Structure 1
Amino acid sequence: MSVTQATAAGTVSGLRGAAVPDSARPRRRTAARRWRRALSPLLIVLVWEAVTRTGLVPDSKLPAPSAVLGAGWRLALDGTLGGHLLDSLTRAAIGLAVGGGLGLVLGAAAGLIRLGDDLIDPPVQMARMLPHLGLVPLLIIWVGIGEPLKISLVALGAFFPVYLNAYAGIRGIDERLVEAARTCGLSALARLRHVVLPGALPSLFLGLRLAFAAGWLSLVVGEQVNAQSGIGFMMMEAREFSQTDVVVLGLLVYALLGLLSDFVLRIAERRALAWRRGLRAT
């Protein structure tokens, strides 16, 4: 082989090796990992379809996924599902905003101010030992059985995770970092922005994810107490007419809402904490 031929062969080999850049490999691994994560839910759906179609589980007890999707398509076309979903999302948004906002403010006050810690933390720690869903009878006496009850339950469910994680996130910051910032001449507001907030963000995002999960759980219970709309009301109405497919559809809607909210929070956490590199599973 001549020198020219060897050079050409080396060039072709180099081009083939460079056909897949190193930057594309992480994207391929991420795509493969997403497919693996989708494998087990898909397998569950297939097994579910098989056991109902073969009669191992009566259709009246657990309808097939195809029947549930058919019920969802039917309710979506006539606007029933969209109306109930909008009402549920409105209640969840208001309750999460009220409970999460209050939990963030009180958690920050208790974590940053000694007087706030002495006055706020003890009653909150006592109240969090009470199951908030067990307060339904008392809430009915206080606020009635209308919309305030449902929003109050969601707010209670969201309050404690946000408060506890905001408080723990602030108290978990290394005090030497704050002292170093003070030595460098940063003002109190600057220390809060550049030291306290970044240090507490991981715990705060965890609290938000837990708050969303507790909020959806509280909404399920609240919408089954004298509601006139919402996914929970749709499920209770379907139970009266033995429409098991609609009941299962409501459960799937709640599950998808929870997964979607958690997915959005994970994306926001990844972008807000781009500077942090944690331990990755191998």
Structure 2
Amino acid sequence: MSNLEQAAGTIELPQTNRDAARPSADRRRALSSATLQALSWLAPALLIVIWEAAAQGGYLSPQVLPAPSKIMRTAFKLTTQGTLLNDLGVSLLRAAAGFAIGGAIGFALGILVGFSRIAEALIDRSVQMIRAIPFLAMLPLVIVWLGVGEAEKVFLVALGVTFPIYINTTLGIRQVDPKLLELGRVQALSTLQLIRRIILPGALPSILTGVRYALATAWLALVVAETIGAQSGLGFLAMDAREFLRTDVIVLTIVIYALIGVGADLIARWLERRLLAWHPNYGAAR
């Protein structure tokens, strides 16, 4: 064997070892991800076990905090009657409509303010003033404007969703690396190409963070909206249960809100993994 062949053999061996080690590293990464997912549910599961034990042992009054098993029986009963699914569907539709409207407005305003200092001077101060007004302070005026029908509830959700997406869209555009912009100009990219290939992808992590905050805010606004004049929805279900001191139904609606929040956050995380697969901080977590 010549010296050249020996040298080639010594070069190929480390690469072979790296190829053999890669599946093992992938398995360890997958195992670590699965372990972390299991650990994330450990505290809620332990809390439910302690809650059930305290309720069954008589340490918690059913009128104060019913046992999880009682809440599950209530959920099953309301589901078979069709009440729970109907109210859940109504609330989801309201939240989806408000999120679509508010998200579109927030994104459009964020794009304008992010790219134009003139638009910022014209728009930003007014938006910040409205953002500082609590939902409960706005509610009487919104009822005067829109009544207590569906428009009032969708409006409040849209109002709450607009601000997180607006702020994070503006911030994401402003934080794009100037070196990347200079590189795009050197490559003779047009303004539209610069926006599509560099600015919007660079702002996408911040925009998706705004989406996550907006999903949580949408449910907060909907809870406020459904406590006034609603004839259906989870908020109406909770307020109706309050009149009859049905603590199990009230706690059930709270649990449903929590589960919807977790589901919405999982959707947002999935969008991050899909849309930001090119990003080193997100692609590595896939």
Paired AA for residue 140 in structure 1: I
Q: Deviations over 1:41-63 (max 9, x none)?
A: 00010111111111111011100
Tell me, which stretches of 5 or more residues in structure 1 are unaligned?
Answer: 1-16
Where do residues 195-206 of structure 1 align in structure 2 (5 Å cutoff)? Answer: 195-206=198-209
What is aligned with 1:228? Answer: 231
What is aligned with 1:67? Answer: 70
What is aligned with 2:147? Answer: 144
Q: Give the CA deviation at 1:38.
A: 1.0
1:263 and 2:270 aligned: no
1:26 and 2:60 aligned: no
1:103 and 2:109 aligned: no
What is the CA–CA distance in structure 2 between the aligned matches of 1:78 and 1:113, rounded to whole Å? Answer: 54
What is the CA–CA distance in structure 2 between the aligned matches of 1:133 and 1:163, rounded to whole Å? Answer: 21
Q: Deviations over 1:94-137 (max 9, x none)?
A: 10111111000001011012321221112112222222332101
What is aligned with 1:169? Answer: 172
Match of 2:82 among 79, 82, 95: 79
Paired AA for residue 31 in structure 1: A
Q: Is the 8 A contact 1:133 1:153 kept in 2?
A: no
Paired AA for residue 58 in structure 2: G
Q: Give the CA deviation at 1:182.
A: 1.5
SS at match of 1:119: helix
Tell me, which stretches of 5 or more residues in structure 2 are unaligned?
Answer: 1-19
What is aligned with 1:5? Answer: none
1:193 and 2:196 aligned: yes
Q: Is the 8 A contact 1:153 1:222 kept in 2?
A: yes
Q: Give the CA deviation at 1:273.
A: 1.0
What is the CA–CA distance in structure 2 between the aligned matches of 1:24 and 1:268, rounded to whole Å? Answer: 23
Q: Is the 8 A contact 2:135 2:224 kept in 1?
A: no
Percentage identity across paired residues of the two chains? 44
What is aligned with 1:239? Answer: 242
Q: Give the CA deviation at 1:24.
A: 1.6
Q: Give the CA deviation at 1:174.
A: 2.0
What is aligned with 1:118? Answer: 121
SS at match of 2:41: helix
What is aligned with 1:250? Answer: 253
What is the CA–CA distance in structure 2 between the aligned matches of 1:36 and 1:123, rounded to whole Å? Answer: 44
What is the CA–CA distance in structure 2 between the aligned matches of 1:51 and 1:211, rounded to whole Å? Answer: 36
Q: Give the CA deviation at 1:214.
A: 0.6
SS at match of 1:92: helix
What is the CA–CA distance in structure 2 between the aligned matches of 1:41 and 1:71, rounded to whole Å? Answer: 20
Q: Is the 8 A contact 1:213 1:258 kept in 2?
A: yes
Q: Is the 8 A contact 2:157 2:222 kept in 1?
A: yes
Q: TM-score of the superposition, structure 1-length normalised?
A: 0.90
Q: Once superposed, what is the RMSD of the aligned Cα atoms?
A: 1.8
What is the CA–CA distance in structure 2 between the aligned matches of 1:263 and 1:211, rounded to whole Å? Answer: 14
Q: TM-score of the superposition, structure 2-length normalised?
A: 0.88
What is the CA–CA distance in structure 1 between the aligned matches of 2:96 and 2:132, rounded to whole Å? Answer: 25
Q: Give the CA deviation at 1:77.
A: 1.0
Q: Deviations over 1:143-192 (max 9, x none)?
A: 11111111111111101100000011101112232122022111111111
Q: Is the 8 A contact 1:133 1:218 kept in 2?
A: no
What is the CA–CA distance in structure 2 between the aligned matches of 1:196 and 1:58, rounded to whole Å? Answer: 57
Paired AA for residue 155 in structure 1: A
SS at match of 1:274: coil
Q: Which has the higher helix share?
A: 2
